[in-house]
Amino acid sequence: MSGEKQKRIEISILGYSRLEVLSSHLSPAVVMASEKEAALAAVPSDSPTIFDKIINKEIPSKVVYEDDKVLAFRDISPQAPTHILIIPKVKDGLTGLSKAEERHCDILGRLLYTAKLVAKQEGLEDGFRIVINDGPKGCQSVYHIHLHLLGGRQMNWPAG
The single-letter code of the amino acid at 1 is: M
Distances (CA, A) of 143 to 51, 93, 94: 9, 10, 8
- How many residues comprise the chain? 160
What's the DSSP call for residue 24? T
| Segment 128-134 long-range contacts (CB within 8 Å, at least 24 positions apart) | 128/82, 129/80, 129/155, 129/159, 131/159, 132/97, 133/39, 134/96, 134/97, 134/98
Is 146 a residue of the active site? Answer: yes
Catalytic residue among 25, 144, 146, 148: 146
Q: Where are the beta strands (DSSP E) in the chain?
A: 63-66, 70-74, 82-88, 128-131, 147-151
The single-letter code of the amino acid at 46 is: D
**Residues with active-site annotation:** 146
